[in-house]
Structure 1
Amino acid sequence: MPLIFKIKPFEALSLPELYLVLQLRSEVFVVEQNCVYQDIDGKDEKALHVIGELDGQTVAYCRLFKSGDYFDQASIGRVIVKETFRDKRWGHDLIREAIESIRVNYGESQITISAQLYLKKFYESHGFKQTSEEYLEDGIPHIEMKK
């Protein structure tokens, strides 16, 4: 069964949608990755939110920024697939949806991301190339990548 994607600006998110997104982000980035950091960073209001749902359950998510709102180029961040669904390879569907949403909504094709190092090959499979040395972000090795 394929994921259903919704793309919404912050103001269009319902309270239940926002709650489920924040719950998933906390589940993955804080609990699973054992990383204490400020997830609610004041940037969600500028972002487009890509929500992947299966039977009404939020199982995938990322947020998109137009150029200048996060990096000089458009960007994708907070990329998540719920752990129990990672065997479905829906991360690939999510990134394809994000890239297309940036093209459609922002008219942009150049994208910069701050990628967790262990996902380098995943992002390379979508046309991203490493453009920085490794650095720590919230104690986790990252690299800048561009498409």
Structure 2
Amino acid sequence: MNVAGTELTARQLYDILRLRAEVFVVEQQCVYQDLDGQDLLATTRHFWLGGVDCYLRVLSGPDGVHRIGRVVTAKQARGQGLAAKLMGEAVAFIGDDDSVLAAQTYAQDLYTRFGYVAEGDEYFEDGISHITMWRRVARPR
């Protein structure tokens, strides 16, 4: 599924937020403000599979750079290639624009398969090691 933030139903949003809370807040024990005002924007695209077993969102910045975030797979759905399938859909949606993501360091290999390159130093966010990864494909204007 690929839906703009303004097109989400209440049920879809509920299922997305439930999955994000189950994995990020409960499983990974990251107490953070997940509701950041981005989910319902017309420029935010939500991608998911199944009954929201795997999810990610793409934010479109005013600078033309897209940000992939909230990549998450339910515990019972891991190991089936769902995150890779969604990443493929997100990269196809982004096309020839630059994009960036904050990868949990253990997942770098997933993003490398789609042309993302680590830039900068590892850092800790919510107690989990991350690294910024860019896919720079846009031609200078």
Do both proteins adopt the same fold according to a TM-score greater than 0.5, normalized to the shorter chain? yes
Q: Residue 111 of structure 1 aligns with which residue?
A: 99
**How do residues 13-52 of structure 1 correspond to structure 2 at under 5 angstroms?**
13-46=8-41, 47-52=44-49
Give the counterpart of 2:85 among 74, 93, 101.
93
Matched residue type, 1:131: E
Q: Percent identity?
A: 36
Matched residue type, 2:32: Y
Matched residue type, 1:93: K
8 Å CA contact 2:99, 2:134 repeated in 1:
yes
Q: Residue 124 of structure 1 aligns with which residue?
A: 112
TM-score norm. by structure 1 comes to: 0.84
TM-score norm. by structure 2 comes to: 0.87
> Structure 2: which 5+ runs fail to align?
136-141
**Residues in 1 aligned to 2:5 and 2:118: alpha-carbon distance in whole angstroms:** 30
Q: Which has the higher helix share?
A: 1
Q: Residue 60 of structure 1 aligns with which residue?
A: 54
Secondary structure in structure 2 of the residue aligned to 1:22: helix
Matched residue type, 1:13: L
The C-alpha deviation readout for 1:105-133, integer Å capped at 9, x for no partner, is xxx43111111111111211221100110
Matched residue type, 1:51: W
**Residues in 2 aligned to 1:73 and 1:10: alpha-carbon distance in whole angstroms:** 18
**Residues in 1 aligned to 2:110 and 2:5: alpha-carbon distance in whole angstroms:** 27
8 Å CA contact 2:116, 2:133 repeated in 1:
yes
Runs of 4+ in 1 over 4 A off after TM superposition: none
Matched residue type, 2:113: S
RMSD of aligned alpha carbons? 1.5
The C-alpha deviation readout for 1:52-98, integer Å capped at 9, x for no partner, is 12xxx2111111012337xx621110001111111211111010011
